[in-house]
Structure 1
Amino acid sequence: METENLSCPYCGEPLELLVDDSAGAQRYIEDCAVCCKPIEVEVRRRRSDDGLETTLHRDDE
Structure 2
Amino acid sequence: MLDAIQLTCPHCGERFEALADGSGGDAEYVEDCPVCCRPIRLRLQAGFDGETLGLDADRDD
**Residue of structure 2 equivalent to 1:36:** 37
Stretches (4+) displaced over 3 A: none
Task: Please identify, of 37-46 and 19-28, the stretch whose mean Cα deviation from structure 2 is larger.
Answer: 37-46
Q: Deviations over 1:11-43 (max 9, x none)?
A: 011110110121110000000111110000000
CA RMSD of aligned residues (A): 1.8
Higher relative CO (CA 8 A, sep ≥ 6), structure 1 or 2? 2
Q: Quick one: percent identity of the two aligned structures?
A: 42
Extract unaligned runs of 5+ from structure 2.
Answer: none
> Which residue in 2 is equivalent to 1:13?
14
Unaligned runs of 5+ in 1: none
The one-letter code sitting in structure 1 at the alignment partner of 2:46 is R
The structure richer in strand per residue is 2
TM-score w.r.t. length of structure 1: 0.83
